[in-house]
Amino acid sequence: MSTAACLCPIHWRGLYTLIEGTRYEVIPSPVDTATSLLFRAWCAGCGTEYTHPFRTSAARSQAA
């Protein structure tokens, strides 16, 4: 296990990805998504790359 670890008190509290130069908030996902397969994500606090599956926040794409 050589995966880099988040250095924040609350691990992976805030994640983001860059898609075509735009920063989007993402959250951990139990399975890979199109977003996590195509793009990389980082911790917003310490900058460590998040190497696990993630998905974009549902707030932007789903109506309540």
From candidates 6, 15, 26, 41, binder to Zn ion by CB under 5 A: 6
One residue of 27, 28, 46, 53 binding Zn ion per CB under 5 A: 46
Q: Which two tokens stand for residue 60?
A: 């932007």
CA gap 3, 63 in Å, rounded: 35
Report if residue 45 touches Zn ion, rule: CB under 5 A.
Answer: yes
For Zn ion (CB under 5 A), the number of binding residues is 5
- Identify each DSSP E strand in the chain by its residue range: 15-19, 22-28, 41-43, 49-50, 54-56
| Nearer Cβ to Zn ion (6/41) | 6
Contact between 43 and Zn ion per CB under 5 A: yes
Euclidean distance between CA atoms 59 and 21, whole angstroms:
20
Binding site for Zn ion (CB under 5 A): 6, 8, 43, 45-46
